Every structure is written in structure tokens, then in C-alpha cells.
Structure 1
Amino acid sequence: MRLQNVNAVITGATSGIGQAVASRFRREGANLLLTGRRLHLPDKDPEDVYLPGDLNDETFVSELAARAADHLGEVEVVVLCHGHQASSPLQDTSYDDARDVLHSNLLSAFLVMKHLMPLAAASGTSMVCVSSRLAMVGMPNQTLYSAAKGGLIALARGAAIEWAPHDIRVNVVAPGLTATPVIEASFQRRPDPAAYRRTREDSIPIGRLATPEEIADAVLFLAGPESSYITGAVLPVDGGYTAF
């Protein structure tokens, strides 16, 4: 119960890493306000508050902050798990698609941080942004996604310095390839899913994909008191991928 009675807001909570973070925080005793694009939360606990909406819309983000103020009062943890991955060659990417990737992964995070910052607890607040290993390495067909997730790291580091006097810590978890429903579905679209999975696993020093729960463990560490002197940090959770 490391987060007993801690007030937490988690974005992207309807699937994958965000859902795993919400489940882990719930077991650790946190009071949760969750948001995502889906109309309903798959495993909502009766004590949770869920507000569906689009984080690219500042009006909705303002509404989310107002709901947090009403339901939680002070917010001690904010976890930004939302995002949108798109894959295409740079020269074939339309401006509209590029804008969507940047909005969904970077500018929406800016909006959440901006509107929730005034709710920071007097005792200190931890913000954890979920970025990607691709924020630190290049990969064909992932250029815009890498740029957006790299921008998220820069945003978090800048906020960490700017908000340190307010006792707000801002850190980043950078997951490697993780066995989320989106990734599993992408494998199944390949002509030989099993062979493609083996190829991807072979690119990871540890030799397998991460589980969403393993990423949630890293988020919990940066959200909790054990990391009280850490801010502006990027924690790769990628099986050694970025250590090459």
C-alpha cells in the first residue's frame, strides 16, 4: 500500500500500459481519476472516477482538471500514459498525420501538465510521462513518433527544472517494445506472426518483450516516495535496447 490515500490522475487508462498502471496504483491504495478515449473503462473499480475524452482538446483538459479539483482536491501523482503511434516513411507522411502524432503524444501532454500543475499538493507532486525507447534512437518509418516522444522528454526535463521550486518532480519512463494489445495486433497482421515476433525479440538484449506490468512497476517507483530526490530523469525500461 505504498500509495495509500494518494490522489492520482492517470491518462490513457483504458488499455495497455495505462491500464496496467491504473491496476497497480489501485492495489497500492491510490485514489484514482482516470481518463481515456473509450466511452467506458473496461475494469473500472467502483471507487474510481473515469472521464472519457480527447486530450487534444483544451476545453476537455480544463474539464478534467476541474473534475480532479472537485473529486480529489490536491493531486499528488499525475501519470501521462496516453499517446498515438503511427508508422510511415517520412516522405509519405502527410502534414495532417504528422500534426496528429505531435498533438497526441506531445502537445496533449503539455495541456495536461499545464492544467493539473495548479492542483499540485503542498506536500509535493510527482508527474511521470511515458515516452518510448524510440525517443532516443532512430528507426525507419517511426521518425514523427520518435520526434514526438523525444519532445516529451524535453518537455518533462524543462518542467522538472521550472517546477522544482514548487516541489513538483517530473520524470520519464521510456518503455521498450511492450506486449500491449496494439503491439500484439500489429504482430498478427504480419504474414508469419510468430517469425516476426522472434525477429523483434532477437533485437532486444534480454530477448523478450516487456509486459505492461513491468512498465507499471517503473512508473510506480518514479511516482512514489522511493524516488523523492529524482527529477528530470529518463528511466529506460527496454530490456537493454538503448544500451547498444
Structure 2
Amino acid sequence: MRLQGVNAVITGASSGIGQAIASHFRREGARLLLTGRRPEPPESHPDDLYLAGDLDDERFVAELAARARGNLGDVGVVVLCHGLQRSGPLAETSYEAARDVLHTNLLSAFLVMKHLMPLAPERGASMVCVSSRLGMVGMPNQTLYSAAKGGLIALARGAAVEWADRGIRVNVVAPGLTMTPVIEASFQRRPDPAAYRRTREDSIPMRRLATPEEVADAVLFLASPESSYITGAVLPVDGGYTAF
């Protein structure tokens, strides 16, 4: 098992991609501390630890780190999978909405890195940030989200260089449109969900959406020793979208 004996913290673990990552890590032998906004985890696994809270609040992030230290000791893998997406024309976006998107996708990631990096074992650790294809390209009505996810990529690259001598690798997975429950629900709100889905699929060279499990496969690779000489990298999992 690729993560046997490894202690891992996964944010945004209560649904979608984060839930799939937790399942992969559990299968590979990791001991998990999970966090999300839901009061209770979506699945019951007796060996998992779960702490609900708001990663925009540094006091909660400090509490999360204290729980990791007290229950796990060290943390060999951190996956930052939380985020917030809001759409709309740039000129019509309120300052409050822009602040929320930037804080939840970028500044909260900084807080998690800041408080959990000191828990890395002497042998080193791996951090994997889940960004987005929109952190690499622009799209109308997604400008603030792109700015936040692009900032996350820059944050990860800087941290990769800064922490390389500590043996801490920092990499990014940039998913394309992924069939999570949130995306499925958004499709169902359209007048013709099937037609809208076909339109979105036609914008992707591989002509389909990703599954959460496919994104989790990439995260697992970057978290595991198989990627031991990779740091500061961005791995698109987008069906070729950013290859245009």
C-alpha cells in the first residue's frame, strides 16, 4: 500500500473530489484526519478522525493542527481540496463576494500550509493543492475564481521552493469540469440538463467530464513516494482542456 503508516490531513473531505481522495488514501493505508463544513462526515469509518469547521478562520485552522499533533503526532501528507466558486460578470461582482472567493480558495490555503507545515516529519512530507483548470486559463464570468485558483498555483510553487530543503514537496492538481454532486445539481437546474451537459462536454477534447476518482488518482500519485522527485508541478486533469 502506497501510504501505509502515513498520517494525512485532507480538507474539503466531506463531498465530491475530497471524499474520493479520502477513499483512495484509506485504501492505501493512510491514517486520516478529515475536515469539512458539514457537521458530520459523509461516511462512517471508525479509524478516521473528522473535525468540522471553517478554514477561513485561523483559530479553527490552529485547532485542526493541534488535533493533528495530539492524535497523529506528525503529518506526512496534506491535501488542500476545499474551495468556493461563484460566477458572474467581473464588473457586477461585489467586493464582499470577491473577498469570499479569494479568502476561501487562496488565503485559507495559506493558513493550512502555515499551521500544518511544522508537523511534517523529519523525512519530509507532501502537500497537494487542488486548484482548477481555471487557475491556468480565463473564462467569462469566472474571473475572480480564476484569480484565486491561479494564486493557489503560485502559492504552491513558492512553497515548493521555500520548503525544498525541508524535504516538503508541494504540487498542484488542476481538475477540469468534474461530475461531483454540486456540478450534477447545477446541470439539473438548467431547462434542458442533457443538452447543457452535451454542450459542456463538447468544450473538452476528450468529450466527457472527469470523475472524482480520476482526480483522486492524480492526487494520490503526487502524495505518494512514486512522485518523490516532483515538486512545484501542476498536473492538469482536464481531458485536454488546457491543451487548446
TM above 0.5, yes or no, is yes
Structure 1 vs Structure 2 CA RMSD: 0.5
Partner of residue 89, structure 1: 89
Equivalent in the alignment of 2:160: 160
Query: Residue type matched to 2:65 in 1?
Result: A
1:124: Cα distance to partner? 1.1
Matched residue of 1:118: which SS? helix
Partner amino acid for 1:4? Q
Show the counterpart of 1:226.
226
Question: Separation in 2 of the partners of 1:174 and 1:46?
Answer: 31
Deviations 1:28-63 (A, max 9, x none): 110000000000001131000000000000000000
Q: What is the correspondence of 1:164-183 to structure 2 with a 5 Å cutoff?
A: 164-183=164-183
The code of the aligned residue for 2:219 comes to: V
Structure 2: which amino acid aligns with 1:38? R
Aligned residue number for residue 198 of structure 2: 198
User: CA-to-partner distance for each residue in 1:146-190, whole Å, 9 max, x for gaps?
Assistant: 000000000000000000011000000000000001111110111
1:121 shift after superposition: 1.0
Q: Write the distance in 2 (CA, Å) between the matches of 1:135 and 1:11.
A: 19
Whether 2:215 is the aligned partner of 1:215: answer: yes
Shift of 1:113: 0.2
* Identity, % of aligned positions: 82
SS of residue paired to 1:23: helix
The SS at the match of 1:50 is strand
- Alpha-carbon separation, structure 2, partners of 1:75 and 1:122: 10
Whichever residue aligns with residue 170 of structure 1, its letter is V
User: Taking structure 1 as the reference length, what is the TM-score of the superposition?
Assistant: 0.99
- 1:109 paired to 2:109: yes
Aligned length: 244
Task: Name segments (4+ residues, structure 1) moved above 2 Å.
Answer: none
Residue 17 of structure 2 is matched in structure 1 by: 17
Could you state the TM-score of these two structures normalised by the residue count of structure 2?
0.99
3-state SS, counterpart of residue 117 of structure 2: helix
Name the amino acid aligned to 2:31: N
Matched with 1:4 is 4
Cα distance between partner residues in 2 of 1:44 and 1:104: 26
Task: Kindly provide the amino acid, as one letter, of the partner of residue 30 in structure 1.
Answer: A
Matched, 1:184 2:184: yes
| 1:36 equivalent in structure 2 | 36
Q: Separation in 1 of the partners of 2:42 and 2:101?
A: 25
Q: Read off the aligned partner of 2:51 and give its amino acid letter.
A: L
CA distance in 2, matches of 1:28, 1:167: 22
- Structure 1 distance, partners of 2:138, 2:151, is 14
- 3-state DSSP of counterpart to 1:126: strand
Structure 1 CA distance for aligned equivalents of residues 165 and 37 of structure 2: 33
Query: How far did 1:5 drift?
Result: 1.3
Structure 1 segments unaligned to the other structure (5+ residues): none
> Unaligned stretches of 5+ in structure 2?
none
Paired AA for residue 23 in structure 1: S
The equivalences for 1:118-157 within 5 A come to 118-157=118-157
Please give the secondary structure, in 2, of the residue aligned with 1:182: helix
| Counterpart position of 2:76 | 76
| 3-state SS in 1 of match to 2:183 | helix
CA–CA distance in 1 between the matches of 2:137 and 2:82? Answer: 20
